[in-house]
Amino acid sequence: MPEAMDSNALYNITYGLYVVGCYSDDKPAGCIVNTCFQVTSENPTLAICLNKKNYTLDCIKKNPKFCISIISEDTDPMIISSFGFRSSRDADKYADFGYVDLDGAPAVKGNFCGRLVLDVTDFIDCGTHVIVISKLKDTQDGSGAPMTYEYYHKVIKGSAPKNAPTYRSEQESTTVTKKDVRRFKCDICGYEVESETNLPDDFVCPICGFDRSHFKEI
């Protein structure tokens, strides 16, 4: 982002949140994305955008099929921290939740607004990220209100890691917050909390459950 450009308008673009499920050989893998949108209505085409460093992209390139689980306000936030802040290269993200196979793609168990099963048709290189174009093969209805990106930031107080296309650096995000309050950030899931005093020793991250030692003042 050029220094002179004010990035605030970018953060008024709205998004939802989704779990992408795919297979790494016979093991389930996947990650959180906020970048999912419907491209065409007839014979529906959808797109997601994946960072080239994310293992999910490697898996989808090898096995071009995936499931989108549409996150609702009732979805367990631990699913977001498990799928959004760790890599399937070194963690079994499904261990605590389980999954079902939907037409050849893994769908993490939990409360979701719905599921979409997609076959990949194209990859568009965008430098750091790749847009994955896919055709809708099947759907499954769910329940609850879709979680918006704004709800995730304002109510759950979550953040996005560096690999998310909408990642906002600390310098950018602190320009909109009060200066007289101390802010602490969880180095596991990125959850941020404000406090006028130091955080107590028994403070536990409400998103990922890790203890006070993982909070650094920012």
Ligand X SMILES: Cc1cc2nc3c(=O)[nH]c(=O)nc-3n(C[C@H](O)[C@H](O)[C@H](O)COP(=O)(O)O)c2cc1C
Binding site for ligand X (CB under 6 A): 17, 29, 31-35, 49-51, 54-56, 80, 84-89, 152, 160-161, 163-165
Nearest distance from C-beta of residue 63 to ligand X, angstroms = 14
Nearer to ligand X by C-beta: 162 or 182? 162
Nearer to ligand X by C-beta: 134 or 163? 163
Nearest distance from C-beta of residue 35 to ligand X, angstroms = 4
CB within 8 A of 166, min separation 6: which ones?
10, 11, 13, 15, 34, 35, 149, 160
Which helix H or strand E contains 27, and what residues bound it? strand 27-33
Nearest distance from C-beta of residue 42 to ligand X, angstroms = 25
Nearer to ligand X by C-beta: 87 or 140? 87
Nearest distance from C-beta of residue 154 to ligand X, angstroms = 13
C-beta separation of 82 from 97 below 8 A: yes
Nearer to ligand X by C-beta: 145 or 181? 145
Nearer to ligand X by C-beta: 170 or 182? 170
**Hey, is 81 helix, strand or coil?**
helix
Assigned token pair, 118? 């997609």
What's the number of CA atoms in the CB half-sphere (13 Å) around residue 209? 7
Residue whose CB is nearest to ligand X in the complex, by number? 84
Residues in the chain: 218
Nearer to ligand X by C-beta: 10 or 181? 10
The rounded distance, in Å, linking the Cα atoms of 113 and 119 is 20
CA distances from 117 to 20, 65, 120, 126, 180 (A): 10, 8, 10, 24, 47
Nearest distance from C-beta of residue 202 to ligand X, angstroms = 26
Q: Among candidates 149, 191, 132, which has minimal Cα distance to 10?
A: 149
Q: What is the DSSP letter of 151?
A: H
Nearest distance from C-beta of residue 51 to ligand X, angstroms = 4
